[in-house]
Every structure is written in C-alpha cells, then in structure tokens.
C-alpha cells in the first residue's frame, strides 16, 4: 500500500513539472533517479535539449556517459566558477548544439587571433572571439573556452525548448529575458562591487560564473545567445553605457536594457543634452569595448602601463575609433610616451563625433599648453558614494585650477564636486567662471539655468536656458531635459 501511494505521489509530482523546463526535469531525476518517473524525466530533459532531433543521433536520447556532471552544470545554483568539462562531456554538448545558427559563421571554431582580426563583423562568432582574445589558444585555454561555449550552448538550447516552432523575433526576446533575468537571475552587481571591479563584471567567463554583470557584460551574453537563436540585434552605446536592441524590417525598435531585466526603454531616454543620436557598434567593436572597460579600471587605479596594454589590445577591434584614440592618447602621456600620445590627440582635436554636440575641450587645452598630464589625471579620478572621496578629488582639483586657471575641464569638474555635495551656492560662481571661458557648452548653460531657477533668479534662468537651446537647436537636437526645464520655468515665470 505504501509503495502504491509513493508511486502515485511521484506520478502526481512529475505531472506538475513544466514540460519545457530542462532544469526542472534534471532536478526531478536527481531526487528520484531510480524511479520510473525519474528515468522519464532524464529522457525528457535530453529530448528538450536535443530539440527532438534524436532520429539522426540515437545517443542523444540518453547518452552513455554519466549525466551527473552535466546536470550539475545546468542546475548550478551557487556563484562558483562553472566546472571545466572533460572531452567526452564536451562532445555530447557539441553534438546537441551543432544545429545552432552560429555554427555557420566563419568565426566559429577558429583558434588563430590573426584570422579573428581579419573577419568582418558579420562573420564573427562573438563568444569565440571574446574568449579567444581573452584566454588565448593554449591547450588549457582551449578546454576552458570550449567549456564556457558549452555553457552558452546549453543556455541557448534551454531557451529553444521553450519556444514554438518558427518563433518570431519578439518571442525570442521574451524567452531570453525570462531565462536570463527570471530563471537564471542575472543581476547588475551592487554599486560597491561594480565600481571597484567593473572588469570582473564585463568579461564573459566572470559574468557566466557570477551571474552578475554590468551593462556591457550582460549585453555581451545577450548577443552571444542571439547568435545561437538567429535573433538579429544591434549594440548601442550612449556615453558610458551599452544596451542591445532589435530593429524589425519595418523599422520598429525594441530596446533591451540589460541592467533592468530587459525592459524596453524609449530611445529618447538614452539621449542627453550633449548626445543627439545613438551610436551603433558592430561585433568586432564589442570585443574591443570589453578590453577598453578593463583598461579604464587600470587607469583609475593609477596603473597606466596596464591600461595602455589593454587599450592597445582593443585597437585591432576598434580601428580608428574616437574614444579609443582619446583614451589611449591620454594614457600614453602618463607612461611618458608623449610623442605617440600627442599624435593620437591631434587626430581627435576639434573632432565632434556624429552623435555628439561638442568636441572634447581636454584635448584642445592640453595641446594649447593650458594643462599638463597631472591635471588631466585629476579630472578623470573617480569618486565613490562616500563624501570623503569627493573631498579628496576636490582638493586635487583646487590645486589644478590654481596652477592652470584656464583649463576648462578642471574648472568644470571642481564645480561638479560641489554639486555632488549638494552645495549649489559654492558651485555657482565656479560654473559662471567656466561659462565665460566656454560659452558654447550646452550642459553647463543648462546647469546654470536650473540653479538660478531654484534660487528664483528667473531672468538669469531664462538667459542660460535660451543659450543652451540655441546651441543644441543648431544641431537639430531637442533634449527632454531642456524641454522639461522650459515647461517648469514657464509655469513659475513666463518667458520675458
């Protein structure tokens, strides 16, 4: 009687499993491996992973190898590094995955970085390109690369199991979002961690191991899955950020904000006063951006030598990129390679990128002798959420402004530290000094307008708002921030 009740309970429990969930069926098998239902759960899990394509490879119905390591690989719940799979296990996953669309790319399976550099963006397999560029091609590295690729393959196969035949692009996006953010619970790291270790949360292995990633890290994972699911995506880089989007043949845009569980945020929200359009990056540049993110960490740790090495590693993927030339040029100065630094900075001097309103005044002022490399290092020094770090940067900048009073970004960043402390009174005269040196800065005109508005100096608020609008309207740009400030001003005091 007891065994009959147990069998009936197992049968009932088995019937509650999501018929499309590989992890649930693996978990059931782990709990009841010797029961008929447990054995059926294992068969169902493998059938889901194989997508029903068992007729051409009978072993995929139930491989002869011990399934436990692969089950642990799929159902890993902690944030330890994923295990490195052995050859037999890798071959099983590679057989399961050989129908995935990324297998048709020229960049799939390559081990020569020189070949990677020569591929067009459309030919790059992003996961292989990133892992090869980061880890190299030694025998030990190859095993790690294939294991991490197997991880991504299994993720793609689990997503495919939940999709209907001939799924639409929108259905694929919803399925990836559900899997990454709900089932696997990938998250943006806490600020205290991400600010110190952005490189850890950028590269693909770390993102897969920790299930945490900054915008670039999770966007990279999303793009790797998209290549395996035949989902067409673009990488978009507003200043200091990246996200992915899908554009339909009719022009309909679905933005995927990977730091907010894949929600669709309107394009206008990514535009700023200085950003009039959104910059699109190809897959080769995405690889380069991963190294640039890591270089930025070394830069902010005052390790310019490592930063230069990483920026140079990004160069084959970025080409003649404005930001790379700017940052590499600056870091050349820090390692006493002034001739090379000046050559790169001359290339970006006065250049206004297509997506921007203004050029970078740091370059102009340095080349004009209005600042030295120590002053540049001071403005790029980072602050965290503590007031102490803001005060420390403020002291550096006060010395910079005293020594280089005409260094525009030195003056601006000094004012910014007062704003970060909530001290508009102290920031105001510094910003007004800055705007006399650089009246064509739309952002500072906006700041001045907002501060004067708060202090009920409405005529000056209108003056600076009009100046900011004139600058951006000349570039056919109408940012929301200026529109909202105009509406608020109009309510408080109609335009004179």
Domain end point (choices 251, 284, 317): 284
- In this structure, is the dihedral angle defined by the CA atoms of residues 65, 68, 71 and 73, taken in order, positive or negative? negative
pLDDT for residue 57? 53
Same domain, 410 and 464: no
Given a contact cutoff of 8 angstroms between Cβ atoms, the answer to whether 194 and 188 are in contact is yes
pTM assigned to the model: 0.90
pLDDT(369) > 70: yes
Please report, for the domain that includes residue 400, its CATH number. 1.25.40
Residue 331 lies in a domain: no
Q: Are residues 420 and 448 in the same domain?
A: no
- 199-215 as b/e, with b when 16 or more CB fall inside 10 Å? bbbbbbbbbbbbbbbbb
Residues 433 and 450 in one domain: no
Residues 130 and 98 in one domain: yes
Q: How far apart are CA 15 and CA 32, in angstroms?
A: 14
- Is pLDDT above 90 for 402? yes
Please state, for a pLDDT cut of 70, what percent of the chain lies above it. Answer: 91
Instruction: Give the span between the Cα atoms of 242 and 221, in whole angstroms.
Output: 13
pLDDT at 144 over 90: yes
Within its chain, how far is the Cα of 177 from the centroid?
A: 16
Q: Is residue 321 part of a domain?
A: no
If pLDDT is split at 50, 70 and 90, which confidence band does 29 have? Answer: confident
Q: Give a yes or no: residue 341 inside a domain.
A: no
Confidence tier at 2 by pLDDT (50, 70, 90): very low
Continuous segment of H or E residues that includes residue 145: helix 139-161
In a domain, 304, yes or no: no
The verdict on residue 343 lying in a domain is no
Same domain for 406 and 463? no
Tell me the residue range of the domain where 83 lies. Answer: 2-161
The predicted-structure confidence for 109-130, as pLDDT tens digits, reads as follows: 999 999 999 999 999 999 999 9
pLDDT at 89: 86
Tens-digit pLDDT profile for residues 439-496: 999 999 999 999 999 999 999 999 999 999 999 999 999 999 999 999 999 999 888 7
From CA 122, how far away is CA 105, in angstroms rounded? 8
Structurally, the chain folds into a number of domains equal to 4
pLDDT, tens digit, 9 for 90 and up, residues 225-237: 999 999 999 999 9
- Mean pLDDT, range 13-34, rounded to an integer: 87
Q: What is the DSSP string of 189-239?
A: PPHHHHTT-TTTTTSHHHHHHHSB--HHHHHHHHHHHHHHHT---EEE--T
What's the rounded Cα separation, in Å, for the pair 304 and 295? 8
Question: Could you tell me if 96 and 11 lie in one domain?
Answer: yes
Q: Answer yes or no: is 425 within a domain.
A: yes
Residues 148 and 6 in one domain: yes
Query: Does 149 lie in the same domain as 190?
Result: no
Cα separations (Å) of 282 from 104, 222, 237, 327? 18, 14, 11, 20
Which pLDDT belongs to residue 202?
73
| Strand order, beta sheet including 243-247 | 253-256, 243-247, 234-236, 280-281
Shared domain check, 236 and 185: yes
457 located within any domain: yes
């Amino acid at each position: 009687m007891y065994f009959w009740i147990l069998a009936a309970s197992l049968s009932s429990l088995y019937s509650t499993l999501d018929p499309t969930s590989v992890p649930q069926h693996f978990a059931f098998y782990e709990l009841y491996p010797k029961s008929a239902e447990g054995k059926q759960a294992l068969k169902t899990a493998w059938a889901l992973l194989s997508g029903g394509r068992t007729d051409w490879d009978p072993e995929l119905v139930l491989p002869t190898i011990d399934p436990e390591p692969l089950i642990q690989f799929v159902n890993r719940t902690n944030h330890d590094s994923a295990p490195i799979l052995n050859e037999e296990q890798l071959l099983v996953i590679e057989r399961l995955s050989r129908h995935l669309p990324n297998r048709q790319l020229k960049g799939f399976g390559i081990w020569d970085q020189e070949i990677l550099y020569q591929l067009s963006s459309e030919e790059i397999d992003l996961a292989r390109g990133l892992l090869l560029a980061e880890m190299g091609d030694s025998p030990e590295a190859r095993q790690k690369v294939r294991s991490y690729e197997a991880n991504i393959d299994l993720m793609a196969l689990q997503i495919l199991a939940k999709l209907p035949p001939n799924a639409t692009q929108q259905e694929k996006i919803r399925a990836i979002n559900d899997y990454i953010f709900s089932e696997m619970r990938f998250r943006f790291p806490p600020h205290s961690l991400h600010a110190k270790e952005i490189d850890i949360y950028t590269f693909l292995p770390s993102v897969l191991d920790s299930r945490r990633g900054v915008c670039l890290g999770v966007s990279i994972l999303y793009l790797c899955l998209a290549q395996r699911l035949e989902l067409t995506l673009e990488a978009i880089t507003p200043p200091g950020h990246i996200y992915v989007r899908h554009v339909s043949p009719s022009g309909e845009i679905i933005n995927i904000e990977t730091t907010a569980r894949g929600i669709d945020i309107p394009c206008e929200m990514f535009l700023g006063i200085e950003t009039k359009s959104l910059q699109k990056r190809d897959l080769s540049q995405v690889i380069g951006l991963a190294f640039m993110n890591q270089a930025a960490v070394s830069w902010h740790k005052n390790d310019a030598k490592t930063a230069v090495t990483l920026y140079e590693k990004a160069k084959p993927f970025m080409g003649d990129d404005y930001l790379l030339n700017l940052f590499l040029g600056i870091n050349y100065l820090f390692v006493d390679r002034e001739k090379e630094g000046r050559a790169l900075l001359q290339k970006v001097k006065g250049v206004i990128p297509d997506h921007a309103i203004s050029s970078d005044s740091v370059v102009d002022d340095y080349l004009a002798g209005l600042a030295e490399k120590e002053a540049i290092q001071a403005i790029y020094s980072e602050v965290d959420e503590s007031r102490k770090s803001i005060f420390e940067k403020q002291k550096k900048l006060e010395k910079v402004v005293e020594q280089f009073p005409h260094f525009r970004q030195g003056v601006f960043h000094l004012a910014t530290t007062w704003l970060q402390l909530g001290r508009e009174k102290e920031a105001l005269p510094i910003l007004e000094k800055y705007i006399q040196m650089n009246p064509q800065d739309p952002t500072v005109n906006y700041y001045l307008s907002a501060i004067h508005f708060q202090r009920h100096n409405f005529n000056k608020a209108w003056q600076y708002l009009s100046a900011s609008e004139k600058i951006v309207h000349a570039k056919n740009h109408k940012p929301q921030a200026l529109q909202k400030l105009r509406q608020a001003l109009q309510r408080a005091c109609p335009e004179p």
